[in-house]
Amino acid sequence: MSENTYRPGLEGIIATETALSYLDVDQEQIVIRGYDLIELANTVDYLKVAHLLMEGNLPSPSEYHQFTHSLAERQAVPDEIFAIMKALGPHPHLMDSLRTALSGLATFDTSLSRLDPQSTAEQAMTLLARMPVIVANSYHIKNHEAIVMPSPELPYAANFLAMITGTVPDDTEARAFDQLLTVYSEHEMPNSTFTAIVIASTLSDMYGALVGAVASLKGTLHGGANEAVMRMLLEMKTPDQVEPQLLAKLARKERIMGFGHRVYMKKPDPRAMLMKDSLKRLVTTKGHQELYDMCVIGETVMQREKGLYPNLDYYAAPVYYLLGVPIDLYTPIFFAARTAGLVAHVREQYGNNRLFRPRVRYTGPRNLHP
């Protein structure tokens, strides 16, 4: 490939080296530090995967205890952050609330300008600990509800869901939510992760890198797709409406959210299949069989008509819905889950840094004169 090679969207261009994750499409495997992500999601909890990403290994029992204890100690969010969130406009997008809260949170970190491994490890832990509290309360603040604090008795994922819904989840619900967090935790080099490491390459601070990632993830072609999927399903209402409405949308050349992926072009997203199974389990205990049936019909139609497979967002959206999560929170939760991967990438960039500075192919005029 020559130095003048250009591919729109950098498709297929290798932008960096990483030891964190890799999408092996041929093997239909998402590799996380040598482990298969789907196997991890089926065998360990989100915090063990977070430890793997952030510390480099699956934790021993003592390491896991220390990790969870350290997170619990860091959960408290300064009251000033909630005050900032309350001072935003009357109809904020929750990703904007999250972006602003993260930016404000940086000003409380006395190690902000230090990029040594110990300082950035501490920053990463603080961000992972506080993200659920900020995300859950972004919704409560927007809806003029009381601030909800984490419970010291609940595990991380169950605590996160309880802060959102106001109800302690049962084992099936807690497991489904934990798996959601796990499959969203890391995915090689999507736009938001690339944004974060580009910012980090300037030796800007970790909070700034994640603020940029929030702005990237907000877009409907990235994190916002899960919200669009659920609104589409609710619009269709019943299984018999799925095929005619999808065909009508395709005839109008509308983009159908939840299908297709820049990397998974000709094979299913393994995370989507895991969430399909999770949705099926939830339906057996919570009802709403019609929702599962609608998703299966939509999957069949899109594969037949366009040769497209569902991506994670397609089956994650109805799982969120059956767990009682408001649609406005789908993308912020995605970001909260991805925090473990993001901070790991930022720290990796600091450890072997080179400033990103690509070139362009110029298509404008030349030799003009005033």
Which active-site residues does the annotation give? Answer: 222, 261, 313
Residue type, 180: L
Q: Which residues pair with 310 in a beta bridge?
A: 259
CB 167 within 8 A of CB 136: no
Sequential DSSP letters for 248-270:
HHHHTT---TTB--SS-SSS--H
Instruction: Give the Cα separation of 306 and 251 in Å (integer).
Output: 12
Residue type, 349: Q
CB 263 within 8 A of CB 23: yes
Residue type, 124: A
What contacts 165, CB < 8 A, 6 or more positions away?
Answer: 323, 324, 325
CB 138 within 8 A of CB 101: yes
Q: How far is CA 260 from CA 37, 225, 240, 314, in A?
A: 20, 11, 23, 10
Query: Alpha-carbon dihedral of residues 288, 291, 44, 164, nearest 10 degrees?
Result: -70
Token output for 77: 């969010």
